[in-house]
Structure 1
Amino acid sequence: MIRPVSPIKQLLQTGEAWWRHFKKHEHEIRSAVVDNMVRLLACGLEVMGYASHCCSNGACPHRKRVCFSCKSRFCPTCGKQATDQWIATQTARLPQTRWQHITLTMPSALW
C-alpha cells in the first residue's frame, strides 16, 4: 500500500525541484538537511521497508503491504504526528485549567 503524496512532497518532486536545487547548492547544504529531505521523499514508499500481511486463509491470495514511515520531524506527516503526541503528553502532565502557557528556554548558542 502506497500513501497519497503530501502537497510538500509533490511540490519538491515536480520538475525535480529538490534535485535541481541540491545540484546547484550541493556544497552549501548541510548533510542533516540532505538526510531529512531524502527521508521525506522516501516516506511511505517501499524503499523505506514495509510489513507484508497475508490473509489467514491459506487459499486466499490477498496480500497487503504497509510501508514504513521516515519518522523525521521535518516530514509533514511524521512531524505532525510527533508534535500531536508531544502536545497530548504535555497536556496530560499539566493541571486542567482554562488556559495553559508553556515557556521554552533557548540555548544562547541559537541566538
Structure 2
Amino acid sequence: MNILQRIFTNYYEEIKYTLHPRASEIENIEKMINCGDSSFGGAMYGCPHCGNLKFIPFRCHSRFCPSCGN
C-alpha cells in the first residue's frame, strides 16, 4: 500500500461525509484504495521451464491512482 492509499483509507469517511464529493470522485477513490489488493483477484503465471508460479494482483487502471495513472 502506497502513501496515498494509506491517507485516503484513513480519511475516507471524513472525505465522504464532510466534503461531499461527486459519485465519480468516490468511485475513483475506492478504485485507488483497492488497487493491487489481491482479494479483488489477479492472474497466476507459471514458468514453463522451471515451474515457478507468480501471482500478479489486478490494478485499477484509474488516472487518479499514482501507480496506474498517466
TM-score by length of 1: 0.52
Q: 5+ unaligned residues in a row in structure 2: which ranges?
A: none
> Larger % of strand: which?
2
Does residue 74 in structure 1 map to residue 68 in structure 2? no
Residue identity (%):
25
1:55 to partner: Cα distance? 4.3
Within 5 Å, give how 1:83-102 maps onto structure 2: none
Aligned length: 70
Within 5 Å, give how 1:42-53 maps onto structure 2: 42-53=34-45
> Larger % of helix: which?
1
How far apart, CA to CA, are the structure 1 residues paired with 2:39 and 2:13?
18
CA RMSD of aligned residues (A): 2.3
Detail structure 1 runs of 4+ shifted over 2 Å in the superposition: 54-57
Pick the structure with greater CA Rg.
1
Q: 5+ unaligned residues in a row in structure 1: which ranges?
A: 83-111
> SS in structure 2 opposite 1:76?
coil
- The residue aligned with 1:11 is 7
- The residue aligned with 2:32 is 40
How far apart, CA to CA, are the structure 2 residues paired with 1:34 and 1:74?
11
TM-score by length of 2: 0.76
How far apart, CA to CA, are the structure 1 residues paired with 2:11 and 2:46?
38
